[in-house]
Structure 1
């Protein structure tokens, strides 16, 4: 792999070896594969060390997804098509070092007001605003109880903590910081960093002062990590081992049926046998229930904690695709309020229509005859009914569809790129339209057909390569044209989605293509007072032209100023879109293979038999001169 770097010693070693060559910079193996700022190493090792140059990475023009190392060791993001020398890294197998017998797992219990996962205890603080503390004070309070700020060793602990954040409405500190070394993050207990869960664009060391780490509580990204100034008062979560000196706690009352475990108002059961979807569903129904519906990220995370240690690859949940409407529906009749599709899912392949929860937590539509274990669920919550139609009407030029208003712009003067269209929709208090049923799709088609113009809808690929609606609603209906989505056309990635005017079918397309668009807003959020908005066209007179020689009237100047300002706003929105909408992960077309975390060698040409490399013989820092 291209080299990954995990500490100052390794960085200094590379600087020493690179000094033997006259090149000013070399490729290293860090790259962003999705939204700007989300970087990973090509060898999949954790991102626990960074050495960016001042002001980097800046993803200039949204075009810099790879990274070079200068001769002084500082890093810079750069376009991946540049031709540079590169540094490879290979881990050699060495004799296993002497190891002591493993430390036995602690025994005992948690204090009565702490939660237990395996042999560890956790407690959240900050529900009362006066209990919130700086990172330093939070760690001190944890230590006073024989604990530390929480160390998240793996995905299992992360999922567990997210499931406990259902009633948390504040950020919480964890035990990670780069206080002692601004380029290197460390856990407070000195544990190696084998797992990270950074939010997109993080860590960014904003202002050069963000040395501590918190988990965010916003439901869209709950549990993601963000670096923050350590003196900010926030909630926090402490962690310690179980202790034999603690009394055995009173068993928590379990009002669920035998074999089911509680989570808030619901009960879940993981079946022990691998069967087809139909058989798993029948097994749940024999209990009087259904395969599980998953209502939000908290239920998702709780279910994930039930699956660890099962040694299974996937589990049936209670979602299927309706063969008539094309919508994805829960067997228990609950509305689809949350989805967690894997990259490029749902793929809607031949004979696919039943949904499995994979061991890494994402959802995959697959053949119903596949054999997986099932997850059953029942709840005491009352199933919601469809809300009554909202009183009121939509303004002129907007169409009424249920409780929503739709604006369809497909005229010659209405052409816009995806980010421009989204900006225009937002000026009305709307978003590019989400579509949740065949009926809604047909309603939009009935108007679009007459325009003979492709129109943007609000679907694009998220940072994981899965499709999402820009308004945050669940993806429970898709209407792809044959052989779509294709993900790219030639070398151009297709990240945004349009509707064909002839059929209402959908196609993924390059986001900066200019075309029509559909806006959508609920009646009570729409801003009808704004005048119709179009993307301004700006022309510049050539030197010596009549326009320059004769001058422009004051009214013309005012018009130009207004047009320029509007164009600048739209241009800024496009730049922001490019900065926060990087390339999606390369995904294997073979469903049996995981997404690739490397990238194609753009410099290798067919027929060439060799490339030049910089070979590093040893990474032993003691060999430095």
Structure 2
């Protein structure tokens, strides 16, 4: 029940005695709303009211009942319309009574029933002075209820029985309904009326433009969107209004079903003529709804119902996949919902045992598919593979993917009760939860390749000053004025040139999201956008970056680029409404803040890596580092103790670090041997202490003669990790956190050859024996010539020599 209808029903129940408003006829009781109040609801709201009264909308089985209702209205001098229970909601064009009763009696007015002017898929029936008409169920009228008693307890609208079988090929099921996204090329997109006609010609029961009544149905549509990402126009759905007021009570579905679910995008503006609705396909907002002018051209979403008289027993053919038993395919990935509830750490361990990870989502389509998969398994809350990195104060996916998509719930993440781990709710949104809570979880395998972290070469950016702030990202520097520095487009470009830069170019989604977040943090959201370097040299020319780099990525807002009047040659980035999306705009229309970019300059050499020394490492997966070997477990996530145990099992220890070059080698290895974004590249090394008051020491027993602490460290924790940033800085962390790790062992230089050793030893013994014989001979020679005192000293010397020879 909508908030509006529920409130009216409650008020009416409290303000009058409904029992006294019922009238009896032939052992049936009727509530004729026009006789007692002026409440005029939609057909669906009227039915809800009747159910609260213990009845239903009236069924008229014979002329006597029809005449009784007409006469009651006539006596009250009411000549308006009243809703009845007759409708064709189950099958367009086939009218039946809502309570399932059978009757051959009809009293249609001339030229009735109508087809709804070819627009409405299904219609409801009302009576006017005893004659019947059909109309849009969203219109408001008085109504007639019927019941066996005026004091019946409230009813509940019976659920629709599930229909067995599958949807037609190309459609996705959601309950008894089936949805299909019809995607058209730009030149083929159609207006709303054409979309309605195309959908009505579709297969199945009651085909038409889609109406959406739950998150499950919305998800069934969204999960079909992966192949059309990047299209900046939305999809027609069957929602419309007769008024420009942005209020859910003013909107209706073309199939005359109630508006009991909405998913509007947040917008602060509206157009007086925006009477129709679309589903947005822009990545950040996929699946949300937007109000637009009905004359726009769009692709569209069709729906149909499963037909109980024509059950499709064979499932639609799905694309080939390599999912193992228990995993469900979607795109290039496979997903599996767990049967049991466990802690977050145990959930990831269970996935790893199956050769997978806790799931990451890269699109709203994946999010939607898994949300429906979760609900179909009677699960309403489960762990995802997203975790908070305390070192870098950011979230990262355990399976190495970038966090370039998020679907946080309201006021999330909130770190309530410790937080740090992320769960998917039944509404498809994410919440931050304590990692020790017990939940179901979803595992994922994929053949897709993660986006790579932009390379981070050594180099410098211009120094920030009182007027300009510079920030390093990947191989580039991004600058923005401290104050908003509002400028027209070409003046903004001149300001960037004065900084030896250009208006910013953006070449991937990760950089785009990072930059807009930085801009909002820097300036706030007023004005609501900033200039970037994409532009046209003239009307109709292709868009190009002002710094001459290639256009490899675009992120247009819905309906853009619109190029109104051929004057919108420059581009801005939204910081409100469609956050992060782009809009072509008049270069001299509005003064905006701006962002500059330039490649890093003044390249400096990286630390010299340890020279390679002779010796063998335990295997090919080990990395040579001077006289040592390193093994990177950077894609695994273990506690410090578990990591040390894993290194011991490999005949090594968590790595010690003794110089800038060794420290740099760890960062270099993390870049080469893991696809982790920088937020998840935190890696255990072997430095630790038994308690906060003790000194740090290396697990391999080597001296603690080098450190590279980040500012403010070491802190209170006992174990140490490398953050994995360009500077390869160190920080202390809770030893029970899960991170990657690096093992280290000494190279095997091999045993000394036996015959060489024998020659050396034999030669040494021979020399010692010869010396001994000389000493003995000299002793006898001098014995006769020396005094007893001299003899004593000589004997002492001989003893010393003998000791030396036998040592």
Instruction: Give me the TM-score of the superposition, normalised by structure 1.
Output: 0.50
Relative distance call for 1:180 and 1:114 in structure 2 (3 A) is: same
Deviation at 1:474, TM superposition (A): 9.8
3-state SS, counterpart of residue 136 of structure 1: helix
Deviation at 1:340, TM superposition (A): 2.4
1:174 corresponds to 2:231: no
Matched ranges for 1:532-543 at <5 A: none
Relative distance call for 1:278 and 1:203 in structure 2 (3 A) is: same
Aligned residues: 374
Q: Which position in structure 2 is the counterpart of 1:69?
A: none
Relative distance call for 1:116 and 1:347 in structure 2 (3 A) is: closer
Take 1:218 and 1:429, find their aligned partners in 2: how far apart are those partners? 32
Matched ranges for 1:439-458 at <5 A: none
1:472 corresponds to 2:532: no
Take 2:359 and 2:436, find their aligned partners in 1: how far apart are those partners? 18
1:272 corresponds to 2:272: no
Whether the 8 Å CA contact 1:216–1:222 is kept in 2: the answer is yes
1:187 corresponds to 2:233: no
1:337 corresponds to 2:422: no
Deviation at 1:150, TM superposition (A): 0.6
1:198 corresponds to 2:264: yes
Take 1:101 and 1:349, find their aligned partners in 2: how far apart are those partners? 39
Whether the 8 Å CA contact 1:202–1:225 is kept in 2: the answer is no
Matched ranges for 1:229-308 at <5 A: 229-243=293-307, 244-245=309-310, 247-250=312-315, 251-252=317-318, 253-308=320-375
Deviation at 1:526, TM superposition (A): 7.5
Say what the alpha-carbon RMSD is for the aligned residues: 4.8
Matched ranges for 1:25-424 at <5 A: 96-97=153-154, 103-129=160-186, 131-145=188-202, 146-168=206-228, 169=231, 170-179=233-242, 184-201=250-267, 204=270, 206-208=271-273, 210-243=274-307, 244-245=309-310, 247-250=312-315, 251-252=317-318, 253-348=320-415, 351-388=418-455, 400-407=472-479, 414-415=482-483
Deviation at 1:249, TM superposition (A): 3.1
Q: Which position in structure 2 is the counterpart of 1:438?
A: none
Take 1:264 and 1:232, find their aligned partners in 2: how far apart are those partners? 31
Take 2:266 and 2:451, find their aligned partners in 1: how far apart are those partners? 33
Relative distance call for 1:219 and 1:147 in structure 2 (3 A) is: same
Whether the 8 Å CA contact 2:337–2:443 is kept in 1: the answer is yes
Q: Deviations over 1:419-473 (max 9, x none)?
A: x689999945999xxxxxxxxxxxxxxxxxxxxxxxxxxxxxxxxxxxxx99534
3-state SS, counterpart of residue 255 of structure 1: coil
Deviation at 1:271, TM superposition (A): 0.6
User: Which of these two proteins has the greater Rg computed from alpha carbons?
Assistant: 2
Whether the 8 Å CA contact 1:172–1:236 is kept in 2: the answer is yes
Deviation at 1:298, TM superposition (A): 1.8
Matched ranges for 1:429-440 at <5 A: none
Take 2:167 and 2:396, find their aligned partners in 1: how far apart are those partners? 41
Deviation at 1:98, TM superposition (A): 5.3
Whether the 8 Å CA contact 1:162–1:223 is kept in 2: the answer is yes
Take 1:373 and 1:422, find their aligned partners in 2: how far apart are those partners? 52
Take 2:170 and 2:453, find their aligned partners in 1: how far apart are those partners? 40
Whether the 8 Å CA contact 1:175–1:188 is kept in 2: the answer is yes
Whether the 8 Å CA contact 1:159–1:304 is kept in 2: the answer is yes
Whether the 8 Å CA contact 2:179–2:220 is kept in 1: the answer is no
Whether the 8 Å CA contact 1:429–1:521 is kept in 2: the answer is no
Relative distance call for 1:390 and 1:187 in structure 2 (3 A) is: farther
Stretch deviating more after TM superposition (256-265 or 112-121) = 112-121
Q: Which position in structure 1 is the counterpart of 2:81?
A: none
Q: Quick one: higher RCO (CA 8 Å, sep 6+), 1 or 2? A: 1
Q: Deviations over 1:391-432 (max 9, x none)?
A: 9997897565532213365xxxx545xxx689999945999x
Take 1:338 and 1:319, find their aligned partners in 2: how far apart are those partners? 11
Q: Which position in structure 2 is the counterpart of 1:611?
A: none
3-state SS, counterpart of residue 406 of structure 1: strand
Take 1:512 and 1:113, find their aligned partners in 2: how far apart are those partners? 44
Q: Deviations over 1:134-164 (max 9, x none)?
A: 2122212222224011110011111221111
Relative distance call for 1:321 and 1:102 in structure 2 (3 A) is: closer
Take 2:474 and 2:410, find their aligned partners in 1: how far apart are those partners? 32
Deviation at 1:315, TM superposition (A): 1.1
Relative distance call for 1:470 and 1:330 in structure 2 (3 A) is: closer
Take 2:428 and 2:192, find their aligned partners in 1: how far apart are those partners? 30
Relative distance call for 1:386 and 1:226 in structure 2 (3 A) is: closer
Matched ranges for 1:435-584 at <5 A: 471-473=512-514, 497=521
Whether the 8 Å CA contact 1:407–1:520 is kept in 2: the answer is no
Take 2:494 and 2:225, find their aligned partners in 1: how far apart are those partners? 30
Stretch deviating more after TM superposition (393-402 or 266-275) = 393-402
Take 1:472 and 1:281, find their aligned partners in 2: how far apart are those partners? 28
Relative distance call for 1:470 and 1:377 in structure 2 (3 A) is: closer
Deviation at 1:320, TM superposition (A): 1.8
Q: Which has the higher helix share?
A: 2
Relative distance call for 1:336 and 1:104 in structure 2 (3 A) is: closer
Deviation at 1:389, TM superposition (A): 5.8
Whether the 8 Å CA contact 1:406–1:519 is kept in 2: the answer is no
3-state SS, counterpart of residue 227 of structure 2: coil
Deviation at 1:221, TM superposition (A): 1.6
Whether the 8 Å CA contact 1:162–1:298 is kept in 2: the answer is yes
Take 1:305 and 1:255, find their aligned partners in 2: how far apart are those partners? 21
Instruction: Give me the TM-score of the superposition, normalised by structure 2.
Output: 0.40
Take 1:324 and 1:395, find their aligned partners in 2: how far apart are those partners? 26
Whether the 8 Å CA contact 1:430–1:519 is kept in 2: the answer is no
Stretch deviating more after TM superposition (389-398 or 142-151) = 389-398
Relative distance call for 1:121 and 1:349 in structure 2 (3 A) is: closer
